[in-house]
């Protein structure tokens, strides 16, 4: 048992030397390097258990870092419907004008995305039809 523990401790030290982000004092550059490493592993060795270790540490870093505090707060306050609409706009590379048929004017789209106005049932039905998603996903 002691032999295995010693090997595990040494392997952990070597891993943290190779991937500093897994250590206790991760920096911004360690975080960015870890993101790149995850991308590389997914492309080249998608069964590597290091992906899970890094993904967990990355999520923890993003949840607790000052850098992400404003973003996390905004996400928590955003309605599910607005978050979905933002994602669809981004994925389909749309402008606010592209949603004229489903929502109306650019200013109305802007007001909905900023939280000043809400999606109506009519908007939700039209967006669901356009993007092929269930209406309840907006609720």
Model confidence over 21-32: pLDDT tens digits?
999 888 999 999
Give the chain's end-to-end CA distance (angstroms, integer): 54
Whether pLDDT at 59 is above 80: yes
Query: Residue 106: pLDDT above 80?
Result: yes
CB atoms within 10 A of CB 18: 10
Provide the percentage of residues in the chain whose pLDDT is more than 70. Answer: 99
pLDDT of residue 2: 67
Q: What is the pLDDT of residue 1?
A: 58
CATH architecture of 78-138: Orthogonal Bundle (1.10)
User: Could you tell me where in the chain the CATH 1.10.260 domains are found?
Assistant: 78-138
- Is 61 within 8 Å of 98 (Cβ atoms)? no
Six token digits for residue 9:
């401790």
User: What are the DSSP E strand ranges found in the chain?
Assistant: none
Report pLDDT for 47.
95
pLDDT at 75: 77
CA 113/CA 104 separation, integer angstroms: 13
- CA dist 67 and 63 (Å) reads 10
The reported pLDDT for the residue numbered 36 is: 96
- Please write the tens of the pLDDT for every residue from 65-99: 888 888 888 778 888 999 999 999 999 999 999 99
CA distance 45 to 30: 21
């Amino acid at each position: 048992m002691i032999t295995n523990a010693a090997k595990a401790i040494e392997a952990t030290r070597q891993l943290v030397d190779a991937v500093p982000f897994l250590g206790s004092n991760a920096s911004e550059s360690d975080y960015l390097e870890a993101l790149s490493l995850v991308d590389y592993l997914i492309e080249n060795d998608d069964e590597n258990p290091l992906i899970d270790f890094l993904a967990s540490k990355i999520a923890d870093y993003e949840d607790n870092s000052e850098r992400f505090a404003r973003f996390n707060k905004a996400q928590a306050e955003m309605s599910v419907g607005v978050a979905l609409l933002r994602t669809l706009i981004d994925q389909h590379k749309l402008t606010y004008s592209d949603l004229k048929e489903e929502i109306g004017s650019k200013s109305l789209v802007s007001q909905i995305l900023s939280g000043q106005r809400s999606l109506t049932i009519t908007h939700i039905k039209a967006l669901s039809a356009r993007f092929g998603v269930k209406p309840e996903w907006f609720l």
